[in-house]
Structure 1
Amino acid sequence: MWAIPIESSFTGSLASKMSEHFNVLREHTMSESELFYFTSSHLDDISIEEPLKASYRAKALLRILNGILLLTDNYVLAFDVENLVFMNEGERWKNRHIDRSDRDLEYKELENPFQAEESKLVKYKRIPEDDKNKRNYIVDFFDYAYKSELVKEVLILFSLSKIDTLFILINTYKIIETIEYDLGFIDKTAKTEKIGLFSEEFVKAYEFFEKGKFGHYSNSEYGSGLFSRHGVSDKKKYEDKKGNPLPPVSFNDIDTNVRTLIYEWINYKLMVEKGYRYPPVKRESKTRSLTDEDFKFELEDLI
């Protein structure tokens, strides 16, 4: 079994959650301190001779988990996939430092991190649908990423957008398009008919992107500069009909609304499938504009 060291102020609480697709182990040291490890049945088919493959798959799974955590706050799990631990029948080996890379392999693992056979997933006692106290959005959202390729992609894109500010417009645009496709919003008639089925929070967040200047701003180098989805082009001026430059779109507003959009989208899917959802997230408005530091964590811990 592969295990990856993780750190966070709330790691202990994660150790009590139960998911078929991930687990957080707690280890007590001789000095009475606690260490925590991320494990998953989706890592179990990787042999001890393939630490690089295990590190890439573990990183993809942790990207999904961090994407979920980021929907409600800015706390994430710091992890080091170059410091893997392999455990087998009570024994433990610490693998040597991984000092090479394989981009093709990393791509394959990021595309498909869920590789455990259904029969080998750890089965927990089913929580009664009416037992609200034992439900956990982290577990439900992660399980949904396993069921839905689009949910998995959106969570990975979102977590990547928080690592570097350069990703925020490109990834946010892709997230919106993916959610629109999943909900059938590509058809304008269907969108008009369906929009009333969603929470007020979802509608407000969606209208921010649909009716605001986000698409124009993010596609225009004249508007968003280095962050633009496209290069320089005279056809993509960022100005109004009179030729006047438009004001930039707030990165803080983009961040707040994309979190809400993703969270409420998955909530909607849960309601359709399981008949329950989680309460909306209350967000405090910030008076200052976000800077690079708001979107960066310790890169060496997250990559």
Structure 2
Amino acid sequence: MWGLYVQSSMSFSMARKSFSNDLYIFSTFDNSEHETYFLGSPHLDSIAESDSDQAYYRAKALIRLLNGCLLLRGDLTFTYDEDICFFRPNSVIKAYSNRKNDLSIVEYEELVNPFGSNVEVKEQAEQSYLRDCLILAKENPLIRQTIVFLVLSKLDALYFLTNTFKIYEIILSDLGINKNKATYKRELQNNFPEGIRKYIDFFLLGNFKEYVNSEKGAGILSRHVSTNQPYDKAPLDLEEIDSNIRNFINHWLRIKMQERFGYYYTVEYKPSREEYMKDEDYDF
């Protein structure tokens, strides 16, 4: 059995929930009775111990999908280790690392689809938004790509606008909307519920495309460099883009969940606001 070491403030509670049919968090105790948490999956257990590279890249792709789904509701995610552990039947835990590089075709293939074929999966998870997001990500390549792009946009500031633009293109295409503003306003705008229309209008009718594509607008974050594409409007708020793209995905998934399950969730992403402690907070 394979396990990828993970950390999060959610570890304790997630290890005690059946939140997905395809992956789970489990724990072990060391000699000091310290609880350590791992990501496990039947899609990992189908890989032989001799193929630790594939096991690691698959686990890495699975934890990214989990993190991407978690980002649709908030900002808490899991961090993970560079080693992957194999749990042998005799209770010996073997850690594997020292992969040759992180740019292999194996990593690419697992990122595209980390769900193994002919893997028996038990239908035991409790119904929840997280469970159903992961089911859709498993079944629908476009949804899986969207979740991957969302989580990859958080790896580095340079990836943010490029991956957000990819998400915007995927959802518009799936909704049957070309990127012509006039055609959308004239023929399609009133066909969509108010909830998702708000986000279509923000990304399509606002200055998002022009800003992202112009070095004069987004600077080093732009999709293109060394172009003469003008941008003479106010810079866009990156936090607003971040919040809106997550909720654009949420409202798109409402449609997908209604089609797949016959129900949907009214989930909205709300940024977490951390406040610094005040002097009176230290008066216990």
Regarding TM over 0.5, the answer is yes
Q: 1: distance between equivalents of 2:221 and 2:56?
A: 30
2:69 corresponds to: 68
Structure 1 residues 8, 185: CA separation in 2 closer, same or farther (over 3 Å shift)? same
| Contact 1:45–1:116 (CA under 8 A) maintained in structure 2 | no
| Contact 1:158–1:172 (CA under 8 A) maintained in structure 2 | yes
Q: 2:230 aligns with which of 231, 237, 244?
A: 237
Alpha-carbon shift at residue 26 of structure 1 (Å): 2.4
| Contact 1:20–1:121 (CA under 8 A) maintained in structure 2 | no
Q: 2: distance between equivalents of 1:108 and 1:86?
A: 21
1:279 corresponds to: 266
* Cα-to-partner distance string for 1:95-115 (whole Å, 9 max, x where unaligned): 243242152221122122112
Q: 2: distance between equivalents of 1:166 and 1:140?
A: 30
1:55 corresponds to: 56
Shifted more, 263-272 versus 151-160: the winner is 263-272
Alpha-carbon shift at residue 37 of structure 1 (Å): 1.0
Query: 2:253 aligned with 1:266, yes or no?
Result: yes
Shifted more, 42-51 versus 93-102: the winner is 93-102
| Contact 2:43–2:115 (CA under 8 A) maintained in structure 1 | yes
SS in 2 for 1:248: coil
2:207 corresponds to: 213
Is there any run of 5+ residues in structure 1 with no aligned partner, and where? 128-133, 239-244, 287-303
Query: 2:2 aligned with 1:2, yes or no?
Result: yes
What amino acid maps onto 2:95 in structure 1?
A: N
Alpha-carbon shift at residue 161 of structure 1 (Å): 0.5
| Contact 2:3–2:86 (CA under 8 A) maintained in structure 1 | yes
Equivalent positions of 1:128-147 (< 5 A) are 134-147=126-139
2:123 corresponds to: 124
Q: 2: distance between equivalents of 1:38 and 1:213?
A: 41
Alpha-carbon shift at residue 27 of structure 1 (Å): 2.2
Structure 1 residues 61, 193: CA separation in 2 closer, same or farther (over 3 Å shift)? same
What amino acid maps onto 1:149 in structure 2?
A: P
* Cα-to-partner distance string for 1:36-67 (whole Å, 9 max, x where unaligned): 11011112232111111111111111111111
Q: 1: distance between equivalents of 2:270 and 2:187?
A: 27
Equivalent positions of 1:3-22 (< 5 A) are 3-15=3-15, 16-22=17-23
SS in 2 for 1:83: strand
What amino acid maps onto 2:230 in structure 1?
A: K
Runs of 4+ off more than 4 Å: 187-195
| Number of aligned residue pairs | 268
Q: 2: distance between equivalents of 1:197 and 1:211?
A: 15
Q: 2:222 aligns with which of 197, 216, 228?
A: 228
What amino acid maps onto 1:4 in structure 2?
A: L
Query: 2:26 aligned with 1:25, yes or no?
Result: yes
Q: 1: distance between equivalents of 2:190 and 2:177?
A: 9
Q: 2:159 aligns with which of 142, 151, 167?
A: 167
Per the normalisation by structure 1, the TM-score is 0.81
1:180 corresponds to: 172
Query: 2:85 aligned with 1:91, yes or no?
Result: no
Q: 1: distance between equivalents of 2:184 and 2:218?
A: 31
| Contact 1:41–1:116 (CA under 8 A) maintained in structure 2 | no
Is there any run of 5+ residues in structure 2 with no aligned partner, and where? 274-284
| Contact 1:21–1:121 (CA under 8 A) maintained in structure 2 | no
Equivalent positions of 1:74-85 (< 5 A) are 74-80=75-81, 82-85=82-85
Alpha-carbon shift at residue 90 of structure 1 (Å): 5.0
Structure 1 residues 13, 190: CA separation in 2 closer, same or farther (over 3 Å shift)? farther
Q: 1: distance between equivalents of 2:272 and 2:214?
A: 27
SS in 1 for 2:92: strand
| Contact 1:23–1:38 (CA under 8 A) maintained in structure 2 | yes
Amino-acid identity (%)? 34
Alpha-carbon shift at residue 72 of structure 1 (Å): 1.2
Structure 1 residues 144, 191: CA separation in 2 closer, same or farther (over 3 Å shift)? farther
RMSD after superposition: 2.3
Q: 1:246 aligns with which of 228, 233, 258?
A: 233
SS in 1 for 2:25: strand
* Cα-to-partner distance string for 1:202-240 (whole Å, 9 max, x where unaligned): 221221101110000000111111011111222x111xx
